[in-house]
Structure 1
């Protein structure tokens, strides 16, 4: 009997901890092109000398995840969180619904090694706020992708950023964009091989509309049931008007150990395993014809033979996995 009670306590505690991150209030659901207030409660706006320059994500009540690029002068930076930074540009009729939490930066921890690639490897930093923020339905930490997560080519993801500004260059509209993951091989091919190692990055984009340039350091998230998991940190937003040149993101799941080592004491970040819905990553079958082929051309990346062979093999593998329950 005692063991059953302990098991129940353990399960309840685990459930509470497991669902403490990535939650969006029932009154703030995603789906609109313009992010409705409160629908991105982990979004952080970073200002330097009063001017907005980067984004980030709240991962505990006192730690923010962002890009190394954003940290060239970290101690002159303030972090802004809350409903105020998520509004659509119009003032609320209820002043109590619009508020903002602001914190200075007490400490900065960037990954100790980074590559010399066009897109730097290990482009990731953690910011410790000057004091913890009070969590509520409009300020919530996002879940982080665990080391066992998979993000296959075509997996639906979301990014958010600010696209409009007032006369003081203050962002006034948070916009969310749905975008597919672009497989590492295809991404490297489209970028002409200039992204360097693909082991710790995720690409996403292929959007005709302009990417969110003002969201460097901001989160890319994936939905798992009714909570949200951060899969990437924006290193490059891609290139406006050229959907074949997707954005490049630091792959959060590759840094679970590093993040856990940095964030010690107090509230800990929650890691959640996200699995792509497809059984097989079709990017495995992608063959880049040549890095010399321009991504601005209209030609296909694959020859007819390679395309047919890859798709046929993919279908056979998926049928095999379905039959044998793998």
Structure 2
């Protein structure tokens, strides 16, 4: 599989500065199959580039018209062709995208955070919104997720949250392409500084220190959700990370709450990035 294969993400290695350097691609190892329809906001985001490459990420439906994902999944430098790129909703297995329950939309626009960048330490402000070509009808298999805001209760260390994705498991591709889920505890950013010295307040550290369970190759852009008073709320976006399953390398996620204004203003404007 080439660097822009079907299961795209960013596999990172630890550099001499103690942070992340993209090496090739990034999914869920050590997880389990998700029951059908249990995460109805989960999106399968498949991009096609002018070079004829295709790569896939996760995403989350946050309104009838918008999907939240990682900026590096739809990076304009990769020359993504919007009219050939697709967002799939209501998917259980990515090997069954022709299932009648699956809703397919063309990407009509992509809005990447204005300060998104790749530095020597990794991606920063790794967040983007994809506008769908047509509003989706909500069903039991297709529903938006609440997006965490600054008004929500602060995440406490030890809070049990969930990540989902179609990325690689420890055995390789997910069995039958079925969506995987994994419970991960929230960790203190200060605690994660010892292995990720450049972690910022705009990031969330979550996962396990003993390895064996983590997102891996193919899960980038997918949601990190935690239980709230009225269901689940998305608190993070799966992004860059160190190698799958490594000890002392919990996952790093873009903190959605930190980008509340960007999300709200983009949706309000309809298509343009906030100034």
Question: TM-score, structure 2 length as denominator?
Answer: 0.72
Match in the other structure for 2:121:
118
Q: 1:124 to 1:189 in 2, by over 3 A?
A: same
Say which SS state the counterpart of residue 151 (structure 1) adopts.
coil
Consecutive unaligned residues of structure 2, counting only runs of 5 or more, are 1-30, 271-275
CA contact (8 A) 2:123 2:240 kept: no
* Aligned position for 2:102: 100
- Pick closer, same or farther for the CA change 1:210–1:151 going to 2, 3 Å: closer
RMSD: 2.9
Q: Look up the match of 1:212.
A: 216
CA shift in 2, pair 1:189/1:107, >3 Å: same
1:60 and 2:63 aligned: yes
SS in 1 for 2:268: coil
Preserved CA contact (<8 Å) 1:182 1:203: yes
Cα shift readout 1:27-86 (whole Å, capped 9, x = no counterpart): xxxxx931011001000101134955211000000100001110124424210111xx22
CA distance in 1 between counterparts of 2:59 and 2:179 reads 13
Higher relative CO (Cα under 8 Å, sequence separation at least 6) belongs to: 2
In the alignment, what sits opposite 1:40?
Answer: 39
Partner of 1:148: 151
Q: 1:80 to 1:142 in 2, by over 3 A?
A: same
Where does 1:63-102 land on structure 2 (aligned, <5 Å)? 63-72=66-75, 73-74=79-80, 75=82, 76-82=84-90, 85-87=91-93, 98-102=100-104
- Taking a change above 3 Å as real, the CA distance of residues 112 and 205 of structure 1, as seen in their structure-2 partners, is same
CA pair 169-78 structure 1, distance change in 2 beyond 3 A: farther
Q: CA deviation at 1:154?
A: 1.8
Matched with 2:185 is 180
| Contact 2:207 2:213 survives alignment (8 Å) | no
Query: Relative to structure 1, is the Cα distance of residues 46 and 252 closer, same or farther in structure 2, using a 3 angstrom cutoff?
Result: same
Contact 1:44 1:57 in 2 (8 A): yes
Structure with bigger gyration radius: 1
SS at match of 2:179: strand
The structure-2 alpha-carbon separation of the partners of 1:118 and 1:160, relative to structure 1 and needing over 3 Å to count, comes to same
Can you give the 5+ residue segments of structure 1 that lack an aligned partner in the other structure? Answer: 1-31, 267-326
Residue 241 of structure 2 is aligned to residue 242 of structure 1? no
2:66, 2:175 → 1: CA distance? 23
Task: Specify the SS of the correspondent of 2:72.
Answer: helix
Q: 1:169 to 1:181 in 2, by over 3 A?
A: closer
Q: Once the two structures are superposed, what CA deviation does each residue of 1:214-263 show, in whole Å capped at 9, x if it has no partner?
A: 11011000012451100001112443232311111110111111111110
Looking at structure 2, the residues matched to 185 and 128 of structure 1 have their Cα atoms a distance apart, in angstroms, of: 35
Decide which structure has greater helix share. 1
Aligned equivalents of 1:210 and 1:230: distance in 2? 18
TM-score (norm 1): 0.62
